[in-house]
Amino acid sequence: MEKIIVFCITTLVALTSFSCQSKKEGKSMVEKKLFGKLSGGQEVNEYTLKNANGMEAKIIDYGATVVSLTAPDKNGKYEDVVLGYDSLDGYVKDKAYFGSIVGRYGNRISKGKFKLDGKEYQLSINNGENHLHGGTDGFNKKVWTVVNTDVVEALGSASITLKYNSKDGEEGYPGTIELTVRYTLTKDNELSINYTATTDKETILNPTHHSYFNLSGDMHKTILDHEVMIDADKFTPVDKELITTGAFSEVANTPMDFRIPKKVGKEVDADFEQLKFAGGYDHNRVLNKAPNQLSKLASVYEPVSGRLMEVSTNQPGVQFYCGNFLDGTVKGKNGVMYTKRTGLCLEAQLYPDSPNKPEWPSPILVPGKVYSQTTIYKLSAKLL
Ligand code: GLA
C-alpha cells in the first residue's frame, strides 16, 4: 500500500512539473520591424529571433549587427546582456564595433599592407598607421541583404541569413567576396553564427563577431567581476601599436593566464608590459585545439546574476578584449554612458596580421574554395 502511495505521489509530482515546463515553453518566431532610416532614406530593419524559451536576439541588417541579446539569470529572468545603441544613428557613428560582423579582416594588419602572389596590396588605414577591422567602411557599416528568416518549431529555433557582396577593391582588398552569415537562436539558448564565403579572385578573409557582453545585465557595472576561462596555453604578444610581433608567448605565470576561471579585474592592471601596451586585456589567444575543430574555447561567469556564457568555435584564435577603449563618452542603450571595461568581447578568428605571418593559419581564400566559420555563444545560468 505504502509503495502504491509513493508511486502515485511521484507520478503526480512528475506530471505537475511536466505541465509547468510545457506551459513555460512558447513558440519560436521571427518578427521584423523598421529600425531606422539612413540619411539617404534607405530603410534598416530589425529582426527579432525568439526561441521556445523566450530568449531573444535582435539583429539589424546594418552591419548584420546584434543589437540586443537576452539571457536568463539564476532566477530565470531574461535580460539584455550586450552593449549597443537605442537608435540607428548610434550604429552609424559607432567606432567600437558594437555587436557587428567585422571584416574583411578582423583586427589589425600592419600598415595595411600585405602581399599575395608577389603583388603588394595597400588597404585603407583607419587605426594609427594600421588597418583595423576591415577599414573605414567595413562590413559593420554596410546594409546587408536578408536572404531569409526561418523558424523550425520542432526544434524551437529561429534564424536569419544575411548576405553581403564586397566588391573587388573595396577598402583595398582584391576580389569580389560573397559572404553569408546565418544567426540561429537554438532551443538550448545558443546564438550560433555560421559564416560562408566565396571569392572570384585570390584574396584574404577573416571575419569575426564583435558583441560586447556584460552578463550582469546592468551596464552601469563593469565586467571586472566576470570570471573568464580561456583554453589557451599561449597568446600572440603585440608591440606598442598592438600589432602582433609574430611570437607565441606562454600564459603560465603571467597575468595573461585564464586557463582556470579568474576575475577579469584580478590582474588587469598588473605591471606587465603587454597589459600596459593595450591598456588591459586585448590579445589574441592561441587556442588549445586542432585546427577546424568546433570545440568550446572559453566561458564567462557573472556571480551575482549566475549567468554563464560558453563560447565554441572552429577558429584557431580568439581575441579577448575587455573594453579598455570605452571612455564614458559613448551614450549607449537606455542613455547609459559606457565607461571603461563595461563590456568584454571574445572574437573568434585567425591570429591578427596573419597575412604578414606566412607560418600562421592562412587567411587566403581562392576561387573554388568555400570559407567556413562557426562560432557559438551559449547562454545559461548556474543554479545555486
Ligand atoms: C578590437 C581590438 C581592440 C579595439 C576594439 C574596438 O577588439 O582588439 O584593440 O580596436 O576592437 O575598439
Q: What share of the chain is helix, strand, coil (3-state, %, to 5)?
A: 15, 40, 45
Nearest CA to ligand 1 atom 2: 107
Burial class, 336, CB count within 10 angstroms (exposed 0-12 / middle 13-18 / buried 19+): middle
pLDDT at 242: 98
Question: Residue 192 corresponds to which cell in the numbers above?
Answer: 550560433
* Residues 256, 310: Cα–Cα separation, whole Å: 19
Residues 80, 85, 86, 91, CA torsion sign = negative
Burial of 164 (0-12, 13-18, 19+ CB in 10 A): buried
What's the CA-to-centroid distance between 18 and ligand 1, angstroms?
Answer: 46
118 backbone dihedrals φ, ψ, rounded to 5°: 85, -10
Ligand 1 midpoint to CA 324 (Å): 9
Ligand 1: which of 94, 127, 133 to mutate, judged by most atoms within 8 Å of the beta carbon?
A: 133
Distance from Cα 5 to the centre of ligand 1, integer Å: 63
Q: What is the pTM of this model?
A: 0.93
Q: Give me the active site residues, please.
A: 210, 347
State the closest ligand 1 atom to the C-alpha of 242, by its place in the atom list counted from 1: 9
Distance, CA of 170 to CA of 174 (rounded, Å): 8
- What is the phi/psi pair of residue 376, to 5°? -130, 130
Of 108, 223, 321, the one to substitute when testing ligand 1's pocket (max ligand atoms within 8 A of C-beta) is: 321
| pLDDT for residue 15 | 36
Nearest atom within ligand 1 for CA of residue 106:
1
Residue of 326, 345, 347, 350 best suited for mutating to test ligand 1, as the one with most atoms within 8 Å of CB: 345
Mutate to test the pocket of ligand 1, among 83, 95, 97 (most ligand atoms within 8 A of CB): 97
Distance (Å) from CA 321 to ligand 1 centroid: 7
Provide the pLDDT for residue 36: 98
Q: Is 384 exposed, middle or buried (0-12, 13-18, 19+ CB in 10 A)?
A: exposed
> What is the model's pLDDT at position 26?
83
Nearest to 165 by CA among 147, 192, 183: 147
Beta strand 295-302 with 307-313 is antiparallel
Residues with Cβ within 8 Å of 155's Cβ and at least 6 positions away in sequence, in order, are: 28, 186, 187
Residue 345 Cα: closest atom of ligand 1 = 7
How far apart (Å, rounded) are the C-alpha atoms in residues 341 and 212? 10
Q: How far apart are CA 305 and CA 190, in angstroms?
A: 18
Cα 21 to averaged position of ligand 1 atoms, centre (Å): 42
Q: What atom in ligand 1 is closest to the CA of residue 278? A: 9
Residues ≥6 apart with Cβ < 8 Å to 366: 199, 202
User: How many CB atoms are located within 10 Å of the residue 3 CB?
Assistant: 7
**Which grid coordinates belong to 181?**
552569415
Q: Which ligand 1 atom is the nearest neighbour of the CA of 132?
A: 10
CA of 261 to the centre of ligand 1 (A): 23
pLDDT value, residue 80: 98
CB-facing half-sphere around the CA of 160: CA atoms within 13 A? 26
Would you give per-residue pLDDT tens digits along the chain (384 residues)? 444 444 444 433 333 333 333 334 689 999 999 999 999 999 999 999 999 999 999 999 999 999 999 999 999 999 999 999 999 999 999 999 999 999 999 999 999 999 999 999 999 999 999 999 999 999 999 999 999 999 998 899 999 999 999 999 999 999 999 999 999 999 999 999 999 999 999 999 999 999 999 999 999 999 999 999 999 999 999 999 999 999 999 999 999 999 999 999 999 999 999 999 999 999 999 999 988 999 999 999 999 999 999 999 999 999 999 999 999 999 999 999 999 999 999 999 999 999 999 999 999 999 999 999 999 999 999 875
Q: How many angstroms is it from 54 CA to the middle of ligand 1? A: 32
Residue nearest atom 7 of ligand 1, based on CA coordinates: 321
Amino acid (one-letter) located at 153: E
Cell, residue 12: 503526480
Count of other CB atoms within 10 angstroms of residue 147: 13
* Closest residue by Cα to residue 339 from 210, 221, 213: 221
Beta carbons within 10 angstroms of residue 299's beta carbon: 18
Nearest CA to ligand 1 atom 12: 96
* Ligand 1, pocket residues at CB < 6 Å: 96-97, 107, 132, 242, 282, 319, 321, 325, 345, 347
